[in-house]
Amino acid sequence: MLSGKTSGSEQPPFGTGIGVFRSCRQWDSHEIRDSRKREVLMKQVALGLLVCGLALLTGCQKGAEKPKLYFYTWADYIDPEMVKAFEAENDCTVVLDYFDSNESMLAKIKSGNTGYDVILPSTYMVAIMQQEGLVQKLDGEKIPNAIASIDTRAAKLVNDEKLEYSVPYYLGITGFGYNKEQLKTVPDSWRIFEQETLQGRMALLDDMRETLGAALMTLGFDPNTTDQTQLEAARDLVVQWKANIAKFGVDDVKQGLANGEFYVVHGYSGDMLQFTLDDPNIGFAMPKEGTLLAIDHFVIPTNATNPQLAHQFINFMCDPKNAAANMEFTQYYIPVSKAVELLPDELRNSEMFRTISENYANAKMIQDLGENNVLYSRIWDQVKAAHH
């Protein structure tokens, strides 16, 4: 402090040191006035320096804070090096958050959890989000890589050839991840979940459309049917499978396959193929009754906090060299022209990649059923509630 009290007596201006020095002298009125003027001046100068210092400090802090991109996606779904490269190129920070099903993601968004800039939902969920006004229209001029490079076959599958609301990115199919040591023959049918000898060593996806779709195809029905009798038959089959599986899951299920807990799991091709690269004892197979093609898309939510950076991120990810790096990391096919040409020969020529790239235009996809989506929700609730 510039002034204060000690033992009830007033201190001389500028502190006790000066007061002691002057204690042997008589303070006249001029000296007191001059001293007080100096004290006021010093206070003003100190206050001014303090304000300027705080202003400079605050300014520096604001200037140093980088913009943030909030990306809501699936786990293990982007090459970490791509995140670092985007951050360096755009002087920003990417914040990742994860969901394990389209339904849980939608529930979170609709409950008021906002602030995400980019989300990666599946095709049918994109349609639902668009209908409910949860995604904004894309600015094509800000995503030239997507406009120039995305395979039009993928865009046609989702009725958005002009990429007005979404950019199709990851393509995959569902099938079986399996332990080669424990299974002497390669599983080739959804009926494997009926084998009691594998009870407790199998798992199904905790995804109502994928799992009910598998049962519908097993019974020879359309995986997008709205026929109540067919849906009930699929329900009964999944309940039968439920008696033999250990659980429904997603990320925990694939980890269970990797650590030997499960011998057969229902999973996405990219997830399963990631494990086959690290463990030759893990294989991936497709069921003869049919499988579903899934496409996950980049969308920008209506209430995105940084839509400009979101467009830059989508454009960056659609650069062929970046798409190739992501394909190699995730093992999911990405419909970006010229990206496949940049892949290692082993991956580019693999059976899985050839199957997807050559046939996905005619594959069965989960469709948004509008008001009939509730039919699946009710059947799925009945599956979950069933006991043995």
Structure confidence at residue 52 (pLDDT): 47
Whether residue 322 contacts residue 82, with contact meaning beta carbons closer than 8 Å, is answered with: yes
Q: What average pLDDT does the structure give for the chain?
A: 83
Beta strands in 234-349 (DSSP E): 247-249, 264-268, 282-285, 293-298
Task: Tell me how far apart the alpha carbons of residues 166 and 148 are, in angstroms, rounded to a whole number.
Answer: 14
CA 349 to chain centre: 28
Task: Give the rounded percent of residues in the chain with a pLDDT score beyond 70.
Answer: 81
Task: Please give the radius of gyration of the chain, using alpha carbons only, rounded to the nearest integer.
Answer: 32
Name the residue among 355, 295, 49, 1 with its Cα closest to residue 155: 295
Structure confidence at residue 1 (pLDDT): 37
Neighbours of 196 (CB within 10 A): 8
Structure confidence at residue 351 (pLDDT): 67
> Would you say the C-alpha torsion 216, 220, 222, 226 has a positive or negative sign?
negative
pLDDT digits (tens, 9 = 90+) for 108-134: 999 887 789 999 999 989 989 999 999
Structure confidence at residue 64 (pLDDT): 65
Neighbours of 312 (CB within 10 A): 18
Cα distance from N-terminal residue to C-terminal residue, the chain? 78
More confidently predicted of 354 and 22 = 354
CA atoms within 13 A on the CB side of 202: 22
Q: Which two tokens stand for residue 350?
A: 């693999």
Task: Tell me how far apart the alpha carbons of residues 13 and 21 are, in angstroms, rounded to a whole number.
Answer: 12
Q: What is the dihedral of CA 306, 307, 309, 313, to 10 degrees?
A: 130
List all residues 6 or more positions away from 250 whose beta carbon is below 8 Å from its beta carbon. Answer: 100, 101, 205, 206, 207
DSSP state of 140: G
pLDDT digits (tens, 9 = 90+) for 250-308: 778 888 898 999 999 999 888 888 888 788 899 888 899 988 988 999 999 999 999 99
Q: Categorize the per-residue pLDDT at 3 as very low, low, confident or very high, splitting at 50, 70 and 90.
A: very low
Q: Tokens 């995105």 label which residue?
A: 304
Amino acid at the residue 220: G
Name the residue among 208, 234, 206 with its Cα closest to residue 219: 234
Amino acid at the residue 63: G
DSSP helix/strand/coil, 135:
strand
Q: Which two tokens stand for residue 130?
A: 């668009």
pLDDT digits (tens, 9 = 90+) for 231-250: 999 999 999 999 999 999 87
Q: Categorize the per-residue pLDDT at 27 as very low, low, confident or very high, splitting at 50, 70 and 90.
A: very low
Task: Tell me how far apart the alpha carbons of residues 216 and 213 are, in angstroms, rounded to a whole number.
Answer: 5
> Would you say the C-alpha torsion 94, 100, 103, 104 has a positive or negative sign?
negative
